[in-house]
Amino acid sequence: MLADADAVARRGAGLIAAAARDAVAERGGFAFAVSGGRTPWAMLAALAGEEMPWQRTELFQVDERVAPSGDPDRNWTHLGESLLARIPLARERLHPMPVEEGDLAAAARRYAAELARASGAAPPPGRGDQGRGADGHTASLVPGDPVLEVADADVALTRPYQGRRRMTLTYPALDRARRVLWLVTGEDKRPMLERLLCGDRLIPAGRVRADAAHVLADRAAAGAR
């Protein structure tokens, strides 16, 4: 348990940087996928100041809203502002989800293939950060959406959620990550944090493989005074 959201962001950045250095030393490269949200974006800003092997790093997305380039709803827009403008990561190592294409189903299949090629025929060996919503969703695996039951694809499309369809990694992809980092901040996340820690599979986050997971929560989410 950490003091506040800023402390969670800083600790998360340090853990990712350490995982990246270990991955490069052990396997020659590091691939990670990031999600959106206020704390993940703060963490990415902090990551820009860490000792990261950017020349050996591949950056993917956990999920993305179907919206035009530069739209404030896009996770990639915020990722660019918080991290990409401040680090020496080559363009060919950046892997934004192709949500602007006309055939989104074909785009999702291509992204899955891109993910496999860049990470050695498997999804990312390290998942950089994974925010968790107050309704228990993770990535864009939201309550009641058919995407929760996708078992034969690593990338899929959701129904509209909060006004937008999403492209998201699925459970098969998430469960093959070597490491999972949950960032949980704010009093509104307290009930779902309790359910996550209890392994409650009735919430989407509770269905993600937990044995490689690390939870970073602030005092508000943990219910501490």
Predicted local confidence at residue 17, as pLDDT: 96
> Which residues, 6+ apart, have CB-to-CB distance to 84 below 8 Å?
94
Mean pLDDT of 56-67: 96
182-197, pLDDT tens digit by residue?
Answer: 899 999 999 989 998 8
CA dihedral (146, 148, 150, 156) positive or negative: positive
Residue-wise pLDDT for 100-144, tens only, equals 999 999 999 999 999 988 766 544 545 444 555 556 678 899 999
Asked whether residue 90 is domain-assigned, the answer is yes
Q: How many CA atoms lie within 13 A of 92 on its CB side?
A: 4
Q: How many residues are present in the chain?
A: 225
On whether residue 207 sits in a domain, the answer given is: no
CATH number at 93 reads 3.40.50.1360
Rounded to the nearest integer, the mean pLDDT of the chain is: 90
Asked if 176 and 122 count as a contact pair (C-beta separation under 8 A), the reply is yes
Q: 213 φ, ψ to 5°?
A: -90, 150
Angstrom distances, CA of residue 86 to CA of 12, 73, 97, 131, 205: 18, 21, 21, 22, 31
| Mean pLDDT of all residues in 4-32 | 95
What is the reported pLDDT for 137? Answer: 76
- Tell me what pLDDT residue 134 has: 55
Inside any domain, residue 185: no
Residue 125 is predicted with a pLDDT of 47
The answer to whether residue 69 is domain-embedded is: yes
Domain extent at residue 70:
13-124
Residue 207, φ and ψ in degrees, nearest 5:
-95, -5
Q: How many domains does the chain have?
A: 1
Domain annotation covers residue 196: no
Task: Give the pLDDT of residue 212.
Answer: 79
| Residue 199, pLDDT score | 86
Q: What's the pTM?
A: 0.90
- What residues contact 161, with CB distance under 8 A and at least 6 apart? 140, 142, 145
Mean local confidence (pLDDT), 86-93? 94
Q: Let me know if 200 is exposed, middle or buried by CB neighbors in 10 A (0-12, 13-18, 19+).
A: middle
Is position 33 within any domain? yes
Q: Does residue 193 lie within any of the structural domains?
A: no
The pLDDT, as a whole number, for residue 128 is 47
Residue 56 lies in a domain: yes
